[in-house]
Amino acid sequence: MNKLNDKIPNTEMIPEINDYLLTWIEGFIIDRKARGLTDNTLLFYTRKLRQFNEFLETQAITRLSQVDSNLIRQYLLWMETTGHNPGGVLTAFRAVKSFLLWYETETDEVTPIHKIKAPRVDMDPLEGVSLDTVKRMVKACEHGTFTGDRDAAILLGLLDTGARAREFLSINRADANPATGNVLIRTSKNRKPRTVYFGKSTRKAIRRYLTYRNDDNPGLWITRTSDRLTYTGLREIIQRRAKDIGIKPPALHSFRRGFAILMLQSGTDIFTLARLMGHTTIDVLKHYLKLTDMDTAEAHRRASPVDNFNS
């Protein structure tokens, strides 16, 4: 046998890496699921990567090896021209980046994502629901009825805990301590449990609501038919109570932002606030907190190092 030929590998025996985009997207979703990501996060990745694949199909691209930096930039531009706001374009980019970085770890292949800078987004401060709005909505509830007392407790609880809507709905009666107000959030966005709190007024409203409960549903929040309250049901409650006082319904997430703003204005330090809201860093709080010039001026008047020098 020719020794030269012995040194030439048989290319027919070397398996090709299957780089079909859909195959790897499916693998990525399976990996995220195995890591214990929430259903909402899995749905986010599924939708965003399906969107990315649909764009690539319009360019006759079906393999990852065909994706270059120019195509990714075209995708981001396509997102803009099809009506997506800057925040939507940024989330689409983050999903693609996470996917391609995962692909690199799985295959040792280098993708063009490193050449792409994240789209710039000028984030305006986000409004939270005002305390006055919540007071008016609570006052509009028909006290002395199941739905009225339940809805009042829900409105107060949303603002008092700063919990995400789905976290709030997942609370069981056994998770809330009626004496201390401690509330265990078992299912959070990052899968890490944390404790939030019901204040005295909220606990009083919840006790009033619980006097109607003679069911065996473990959930804290239920419907008139003793089923656990759903996200859609919660949103309908907010819409109904907003209609009662003639205002535009506040978004469910605005209660979380309202909590953050009111806690900060009351003197809560930002690191404690981050823990209460389930954030691992304080960076995310910038999306919730709207500090006016009056807020910062008042904070300086209270804490001026020089003014307090001789205190």
Query: Would you state the pLDDT for residue 6?
Result: 44
13-115 to CATH, choices 1.10.630.10, 1.10.150.130, 3.40.50.2300, 3.40.50.300: 1.10.150.130
CB 52 within 8 A of CB 76: no
Closest CA to 128 of 270, 278, 285: 285
Query: Would you state the pLDDT for residue 279?
Result: 82
CB 207 within 8 A of CB 213: no
Distances (CA, A) of 274 to 188, 190, 197, 207: 14, 13, 14, 28
| Secondary structure string (H, E, C) spanning 198-226 | CCHHHHHHHHHHHCCCCCCCCECCECCCC
Query: Would you state the pLDDT for residue 306?
Result: 67
Query: Would you state the pLDDT for residue 179?
Result: 85
Radius of gyration of the chain (CA): 26
What are the tokens at 24? 């790897």
Query: Would you state the pLDDT for residue 1?
Result: 39
CB 276 within 8 A of CB 263: yes
CA-CA distance, 131 to 311, in Å (whole number)? 33
Measured N-to-C along each axis, helices 21-34 and 86-107 cross at an angle, to the nearest 10 degrees, of 90
Class of CATH domain 131-296: mainly alpha
Task: Give me the residues of the chain with pLDDT under 70, please.
Answer: 1-17, 122-126, 188-191, 284, 286-311
Q: How many CB atoms lie within 10 A of CB 95?
A: 19
Query: Would you state the pLDDT for residue 66?
Result: 94
Query: Would you state the pLDDT for residue 10?
Result: 45
Q: Where are the domains of the chain?
A: 13-115, 131-296
Query: Would you state the pLDDT for residue 262?
Result: 87
pTM across the whole model: 0.67
Query: Would you state the pLDDT for residue 295?
Result: 61
